Structure 1
Amino acid sequence: MAGAFLGGTRGGTTVRPPWRSFGSFRRMKKLLIVVLGLAVLGVAAVAGAYLWAERGTKTPKLASGAPEVVFVVKKGTTARALGPELQAQGFIDDPRLWRYHLWRRGGLALKAGRFKLRASMPIVEIANVLESPPLPEDIPFVMIEGWRLRDTDEALTAKGLIKAGEYIAAASRPARFQASFPLPTRTLEGYLYPETYGVVPEGFNVHDFIQRQLNTFGVRFYDVHKTEIEAGKRSLHDIVVMASMLEREEPLPEQRPLVAGILWKRIDKGFPLGVDATSRYELVEWNDRKEFLKKLRDNTDAWNTRTRPGLPPGPIGAPTVDSLLAALRPQASDYWYYLHDAQRKLRPSRNAQEHEQLRAKYNVY
């Protein structure tokens, strides 16, 4: 009995002491608890990751108010490769969510082209948009600096985008449009920013196009310089009128602040501006010299700034940022007059006598 109690053999079979069997059981129990704990943590982690991914694909990056942006899928791009691009352009937070959704939905029938997306779209909706037909291909429409409403109308008509007069008619109803800046009441002349716009010929909407031009004016000029404009002594409309003249008067943007300083000084002193471009504004053809000379001799013409002091009745075309900034930030000088020689170089003068001498020297009459 003693041998059995101390751990001997019984009938050729090893007999372990009770305390040894009990210790092994405790160790096995601890090991089992650890294994079960790890299993629970693993399940919890998997469940947590699943819930995170499911929630992430259905929750947009921004709750609301995100602008519509055109997202381009290049030819040959894989659906998986779009994740980092979507993140870089601010549509999603984590490319892993994009990859998860692709796995969840079994891939994406991707097409190359342009698609309209918002950061307020969840990944589920983004994937649906990217699987839909892309936007129609657009064509460039070039609006030249200084163009009048009638010039843009003619160009749009020539491309078959509108019927003659539709652009002018729409731009003559400012109340139908919205802008981040105060709009004039009579016409949008001067506020429709000149740029190359991508337009889709099929279903071209003249109202939407004008709204894009107003938005561009805000982004390029007003929104950036709003505080400076409001702190200055000139109204936005006066700045636009002056800028439209500078666009036609001075071919070199770097010279426009000097010309603006001369013209504002003449305005403030009540002198006629003498900007002949204003007399061309109502001509059917801008370079019709015969009709232009008639306008110059017409002292009753409201656009004749040779005889009438102050600004003309309104802008005479679409100015660029260079001209708008020159009108906003004129350069002070001793000059009161200016002209351009045959090489279109600016020749300013301090008084009428110097001006006449320069006219004779460069044969400018």
Structure 2
Amino acid sequence: MKKILVALLVLIVLAVAGVGGAFFYMQKAVTTPHASGDPAPKEFIVKKGASARSLGQQLQSQGFLADARVWRFHLWRRGNLNVKAGRFLLSPTASVEQLATALEGQPLPEDVPFAMIEGWRLRDTDQVLAAQGLIKPGEYIAAASRSERYTAPFPLPTRGLEGYLYPETYGIIAEGFRVESFIQRQVDTFRARFYDAHAAEIAKSGRTLHELVIMASMLEREEPVPAQRPLVAGILWKRVDKGVPLGVDATSRYELPEWNDRKAFLKRLRDNQDPWNSRTRAGLPPGPIGAPTVDSLLAALRPVKSDFWYYLHDAKKTLHPSRNAQEHEALRAKYNVY
């Protein structure tokens, strides 16, 4: 009987010691920084209606915690957290205690969509950003003109970033909006959408990236149907290579304050000294005339060869290519395109 009592006592002591050891381990784990390879803050999203307890598994699965039980222990010891739904920037090396404190703070401001339309010029984007109160008029154009401030794995043109700022809907935060950061995002998006996947093909194309961007910017304005752009690209590249003026009227609109100002447009068409007048000047225009999409960039990179030298669009925007000037003039008369 005495031996049994001694054994029970030993078991109780061991159990108490085990509980005490586990408690000490948990206490230490709460304040110990989490070992992680990359200390850069990462976004963590708390969904609406999520309880503080349920966040433990989410934190662990995203690499902020090694053991969700430590999170639950911390909540048991200090009481529940007052966590708001929203986005938080958390350090992967933070301790559980630090994570809890961060999650009781204010979420990041919610972003709002900013839609940059395909074909927009720098001046168009500048105008809309200014109208929304995000910048002062001219600030975007000025910032995009200083190419040396931005980074890319390809040469950025020194005369400005027209054509390299990818048209897309971006989530932006009005508070603290920085135009330079926004432009870098646009350059990064151009890289992600087009350059990274096609760098080797660009190098073998026989065209420079800048030439491709210029061509793509014209295709964006010239051909409304993406599937037709490779055919138009083939016609335009052939004219470039043979020294024949392109006849892309959109180039003469590029420097107009208002793109659809017909009176000003016709005046520029009559100006044979205008470097943007592609009716009278052979070769590519001095630069891109807007922001091309990946469809136009790929069309410029992968033109379709054909016997056609000319093309026009009828009133319904349907493409009509032709093999020579006689066919082209006949189509102009048929569809009343002058």
Q: Same fold (TM over 0.5)?
A: yes
Alignment of 1:20-59 (within 5 A): 39=14, 43=18, 50=25, 54=29, 58-59=33-34
Q: 1:169/1:345 Cα in 2 relative to 1: closer, same or farther (>3 Å)? A: same
Instruction: Verify: 1:162 aligned to 2:139, yes or no.
Output: no
Q: CA deviation at 1:274?
A: 1.3
Q: 1:219/1:363 Cα in 2 relative to 1: closer, same or farther (>3 Å)? A: same
Alignment of 1:84-233 (within 5 A): 84-87=57-60, 89=62, 91-92=64-65, 95-103=68-76, 106-117=79-90, 119=92, 123-233=96-206
Q: 1:48/1:173 Cα in 2 relative to 1: closer, same or farther (>3 Å)? A: same
In 2, the alpha carbon distance for the partners of 1:124 and 1:329 equals 56
What residue number does 1:341 align with? 314
Q: CA deviation at 1:294?
A: 1.1
In 2, the alpha carbon distance for the partners of 1:59 and 1:52 equals 14
In 1, the alpha carbon distance for the partners of 2:31 and 2:18 equals 20
Q: CA deviation at 1:75?
A: 1.9
Q: 1:331/1:71 Cα in 2 relative to 1: closer, same or farther (>3 Å)? A: farther
Alignment of 1:198-277 (within 5 A): 198-277=171-250
In 1, the alpha carbon distance for the partners of 2:320 and 2:265 equals 23
In 1, the alpha carbon distance for the partners of 2:259 and 2:155 equals 29
Which of residues 256, 262, 265 is equivalent to 1:283?
A: 256
Contact 2:30 2:74 in 1 (8 A): no
User: How many equivalent residue pairs?
Assistant: 336
In 2, the alpha carbon distance for the partners of 1:189 and 1:95 equals 49
| Worse overlay, 144-153 or 82-91 | 82-91
In 1, the alpha carbon distance for the partners of 2:235 and 2:266 equals 24
Contact 1:61 1:93 in 2 (8 A): no
Q: CA deviation at 1:89?
A: 4.9
Q: CA deviation at 1:101?
A: 4.7
In 2, the alpha carbon distance for the partners of 1:174 and 1:128 equals 41
Which of residues 37, 60, 83 is equivalent to 1:62?
A: 37
Q: CA deviation at 1:175?
A: 0.9
In 2, the alpha carbon distance for the partners of 1:146 and 1:204 equals 24
Alignment of 1:323-334 (within 5 A): 323-334=296-307
Q: CA deviation at 1:343?
A: 0.6
Contact 1:60 1:123 in 2 (8 A): no
- Tell me the TM-score normalised to structure 2 length: 0.86
Q: 1:45/1:226 Cα in 2 relative to 1: closer, same or farther (>3 Å)? A: farther
Contact 2:30 2:97 in 1 (8 A): no
Which amino acid in structure 2 is aligned with residue 217 of structure 1? F
Q: 1:297/1:80 Cα in 2 relative to 1: closer, same or farther (>3 Å)? A: same
Partner of 2:88, secondary structure, is: strand
The runs of at least 4 consecutive aligned structure 1 residues that moved more than 6 Å come to none
In 2, the alpha carbon distance for the partners of 1:206 and 1:359 equals 45
Contact 2:30 2:96 in 1 (8 A): no
In 2, the alpha carbon distance for the partners of 1:182 and 1:125 equals 43
Which amino acid in structure 1 is aligned with residue 34 of structure 2? T
RMSD over aligned Cα atoms: 3.2
Which amino acid in structure 1 is aligned with residue 275 of structure 2? A
Contact 2:34 2:66 in 1 (8 A): no
Q: 1:316/1:124 Cα in 2 relative to 1: closer, same or farther (>3 Å)? A: farther
In 2, the alpha carbon distance for the partners of 1:230 and 1:91 equals 42
Which amino acid in structure 2 is aligned with residue 195 of structure 1? E
- Tell me the TM-score normalised to structure 1 length: 0.80
Q: CA deviation at 1:85?
A: 3.5
Structure of higher CA gyration radius? 1
Contact 1:56 1:97 in 2 (8 A): no
Contact 1:57 1:98 in 2 (8 A): no
| Worse overlay, 247-256 or 280-289 | 247-256
In 2, the alpha carbon distance for the partners of 1:43 and 1:147 equals 68
Q: 1:106/1:333 Cα in 2 relative to 1: closer, same or farther (>3 Å)? A: farther
Contact 2:30 2:95 in 1 (8 A): no
List gaps (5 residues or longer) in structure 1: 1-23
Contact 1:60 1:122 in 2 (8 A): no
